[in-house]
Homo-oligomer: A and B are copies of this chain.
Amino acid sequence: MKELFIKYLNENLPYIKSFHPFFNEALQAMLKAGGKHFRAQLLLGVVECKAPQLVSNALGAALALEFIHTYSLIHDDLPAMDNADFRRGTPTLHKNYDETTAILVGDALNTEAFLLLSNLNLKEKIKINLIRTLAYNAGINGMIIGQAIDCYFEDKKLNLDELKFLHIHKTAKLIAASLKMGCEICELDKKESEKIYDIGLKLGLIFQINDDIIDATMSEEQSGKPANHDTHKNSFVNLLGLQEAINCKNDLIQNCKNDLIDLDEKISKMIENLMIQYL
């Protein structure tokens, strides 16, 4: 599924004909640079389980998720936020080009995600659901407020509840949305879809704790981005200590596995496989 998505991504990179000397190159750079494509795999994984005949129609929805995730990384790396020099093993856009370009490429990918969804070869009702789910979870009620809190409280310590609020919004909601969008494409019933969304929130939190652990323990080469960069940030490792963060992650994984027992067997297996691979 990952290979299929990467092929689709590379054949559907955004492009605009103009006399700007490098905007297209910048627009495509971070999308081409790799990444785990975790969100895309979640969406496509659900579709493969429940409506495999729709996988080819769903690739554009997975790409829309990748656009949103990539725009968020590009803006997150800006000097006014994390001021990061490397991402996905390559210089960040504002380093390689300039800040203006990085801001505008992020803006473009945000908007383009919704253009992609509107053009999918799926029922109109499904497309509206996908757009609503993506915009809600990537917007002020999701990713944005998480990122705003992360930046504002950078040198101010949060308590555990606040830290969870931060990361549920900044990271987990888009991951949960990825699963939900898969459910929407397959027209699963609402109750099932909400149950899967809730598992996605836990999965997203595990993903973030894991990211914090990687940041604290891996070298730059291993992770493809600056190591130990987040010491002044509200991370699970900084708040709980490394061992307690690892325990917290393991508890959440167990909790998540318990939830998976109640789910459709195929979807449950798919999520477990991705957990083994990435978490």
Cα distance A20–B141 in the bound complex, in angstroms: 13
Cα distance A138–B110 in the bound complex, in angstroms: 11
Known: A16-B141, A128-B124, A140-B108. A115 touches B135 (CB 8 A): yes
Minimal beta-carbon separation of A120 from chain B (angstroms): 10
Count of chain A residues near B, Cβ 8 A: 54
Minimal beta-carbon separation of A153 from chain B (angstroms): 8
Task: Name the contact of A18 in the complex, choosing from B100, B108, B134, B149 (C-beta under 8 A).
Answer: B149
Binds B, one of A50-58, A73-81, A220-228: A73-81
In this complex, the member of A23, A131, A136 whose beta carbon has the largest number of chain B beta carbons within 10 angstroms is A131
When the two chains form their complex, are residues A149 and B20 in contact, meaning their CB atoms are under 8 A apart?
yes
When the two chains form their complex, are residues A144 and B78 in contact, meaning their CB atoms are under 8 A apart?
no
Cα distance A20–B151 in the bound complex, in angstroms: 10
Mostly, the A contact residues are helix
Cα distance A54–B29 in the bound complex, in angstroms: 43
A101 within 8 A of B: yes
Question: Which chain A residues have a beta carbon within 8 Å of chain B's beta carbons?
Answer: 14-16, 18-21, 23, 27, 71, 75, 78, 80-81, 98-101, 103-104, 106-108, 110-112, 114-115, 117-119, 124-125, 127-128, 131-132, 134-136, 138-141, 144-145, 147-149, 151-152, 162, 165, 169
